[in-house]
Amino acid sequence: MTFLIAALTLGGMQVTKRMTLPIIPEPVSIRYEDGHFTLGPKTTISAPSELASLAEMLKEDIGPAFGFDLPIVNHGDSDSIHLTLDKKLARLGVEGYTLRVHAHRIEISAPETAGVFYGIQTLRQLLPTESFRKDKTENVAWTVPCARIEDYPRFGWRGMHIDASRHFMPKEFILKYIDLIALHKMNVLHFHLTDDQGWRIEIKKYPKLTSVGGWRKESMAGHYGEHRFDGVPHGGFYTQEDIKEIVRYAHDRFVKVVPEIEMPGHAQAAIAAYPELGNTGKPLDVFTEWGVDENVFNVDDSTIHFLQDVLTEVVGLFPSEFIHVGGDECPKTQWKASPEAQARIKALGLKDENELQSWFIHQMDTFLASKGRRLVGWDEILEGGLAPGATVMSWQGEEGGVAAAKAGHDVVMTPAQYTYFDHYQTQDHKAEGLTIGGYLPLRRVYGYEPVPKELNAEEAKHVLGAQGQLWTEYIPNPKRLEFMGFPRTCALSEVLWTPKKERDYDQFLSRLSVHLERLTALDVNYCPLGLPK
């Protein structure tokens, strides 16, 4: 990466502008050339009709700071930013693109629209960081260095997760989070919508899931074992209209939204709404503690049908091929004590409660397959046997991912020690504020290798990619979520996009220091690099 210092004269005023070309994630190949393109009042964006909405997005992204109109035209010539689809570039894959900056013309070309979108994200990062501001910014040289870039991602699943159950996150913030995911060329939002502490998605057939399950009396304060509660009611949910808006917004930015409906554990909010779904028949409140909860769904036919009805509405709202059914942390205490669960084990000829859990997930796998979808679940779904169509998220280390890939199943790597962004990122806990625990500094995220070394080349093809997790027990609001998520998300984006051999932490850090100016302009409350690592 070349660092250029250019002294520019603007309106008689001397402006020193760093032109560092700090792109995150780092593209596959960049060749810089002499000269630069200058955006000015005559600049247009030229796009065929299939790319008109992307042209509009580019205009909205850079127009406000730049202050000129940037008209969108059909056939621009000189001084134009050209967006084009070119099937001859098929070798770059469905997300690849080329970006050419000449002195009087910029060309973004790709075989598919997703690639044009990613080319636009790169172009935004070739402009001065001020271009990310939302107000007209004077005295900036709006130049783009001449360059040839060819780029495509290493992995197809480049995900970020958000837990909207432990703390509800407003729809407006989910949209901002999608923008940030897309800026980093990531393409999956894993939307954790249900858990013990709150059910966050409107289900028309079962309105109490949100009217009762969407609210809790208070939340646990401090760490487990301190037995302190804050006395503050908490709740909220997304209407189906909200969900449609989120899915559409994400789709326009090439982000797939994978919903998660937790079962058979992490179910207390649903059982609070409909006690017949539980094992004890006793009324329950929505859970106010964090941690693993013993109240899990029962295994009656009516409960299986209830959850399949829920999934029917979920499938109707989310076009995602993958539907996440959780499957993690399901204590077996209640099933051991339940005559119905024991009768089910006997009737099905199962060995134990682990096999019962596997049977439960299997019911959902078959159901989702009948709707043309694929089930994904946390690695506990391996216990008692993996359902035939299941994809595994390996969170308890890499072992689950290795086992699933060796058995021919697809996996998404989510090991806690590399991808749990709810863990501390510094050693200055006082400055950082309370988190759930752990320690995952930026360098460690950057150094993560998603393909476990235990896999041979054939098995490694089952590793779809990886994903960062933002569990929100100790993340009460969007600003805190930004603090925990950034800049670790920037590091993960590069792990997932950039060829392994191009990764260099020190060089990443120097690019990041400029990238953080963009995040400031976007009002992202990132964790500053100065805190002790």
Residues 174, 259 contacting (CB under 8 angstroms)? no
- Could you tell me the CA-to-CA distances from 281 to 25, 209, 271, 337, 465 in Å, in that order? 52, 17, 9, 13, 41
Nearer to ligand TNX, 245 or 329 (CB): 329
Nearer to ligand TNX, 230 or 241 (CB): 230
Alpha-carbon span 281 to 284, nearest angstrom? 9
Q: What is the closest distance, in whole angstroms, from the C-beta atom of residue 377 to ligand TNX in the complex?
A: 9
Q: What is the closest distance, in whole angstroms, from the C-beta atom of residue 420 to ligand TNX in the complex?
A: 5
Nearer to ligand TNX, 313 or 422 (CB): 422
Catalytic, 276? Answer no
Sequence length of the chain is: 533
Nearer to ligand TNX, 322 or 471 (CB): 471
Residues 6+ apart with CB under 8 A from 421: 440, 445, 468, 469, 470, 484, 485, 488, 489
Q: What is the CA radius of gyration of the chain?
A: 25
* Short-list 99, 98, 83, 102, CA closest to 38: 102
Catalytic, 459? Answer no
Q: What is the closest distance, in whole angstroms, from the C-beta atom of residue 156 to ligand TNX in the complex?
A: 22
Nearer to ligand TNX, 378 or 497 (CB): 378
Catalytic, 266? Answer yes
Alpha-carbon span 274 to 429, nearest angstrom? 40
Nearer to ligand TNX, 359 or 420 (CB): 420
How would you label 442-466 residue by residue, b for 16+ Cβ within 10 Å and e otherwise? bebbbebebbbeebeeebeebbbbb
Q: What is the closest distance, in whole angstroms, from the C-beta atom of residue 395 to ligand TNX in the complex?
A: 4
- Write out the H or E segment, with its range, that includes residue 261: strand 256-263
Q: What is the closest distance, in whole angstroms, from the C-beta atom of residue 473 to ligand TNX in the complex?
A: 6
User: Of the residues 79, 95, 130, 195, which is catalytic?
Assistant: 195
- The token duo for 472 is 């929100």
Helix axes 488-497, 505-521, angle to 10 degrees: 120
Alpha-carbon span 2 to 276, nearest angstrom? 65
User: Of the residues 36, 161, 190, 266, which is catalytic?
Assistant: 266
User: Of the residues 252, 309, 329, 352, which is catalytic?
Assistant: 329
Alpha-carbon span 515 to 128, nearest angstrom? 10
Q: What is the closest distance, in whole angstroms, from the C-beta atom of residue 319 to ligand TNX in the complex?
A: 24
DSSP state of 201: B
Nearer to ligand TNX, 137 or 396 (CB): 396
Q: What is the closest distance, in whole angstroms, from the C-beta atom of residue 50 to ligand TNX in the complex?
A: 40
Chain residues in the site for ligand TNX (CB under 6 A): 328-329, 378, 395, 420, 422, 436, 471, 473
Alpha-carbon span 200 to 327, nearest angstrom? 18
Residues 323, 376 contacting (CB under 8 angstroms)? yes
Q: Which residues are catalytic, by number?
A: 195, 266, 329
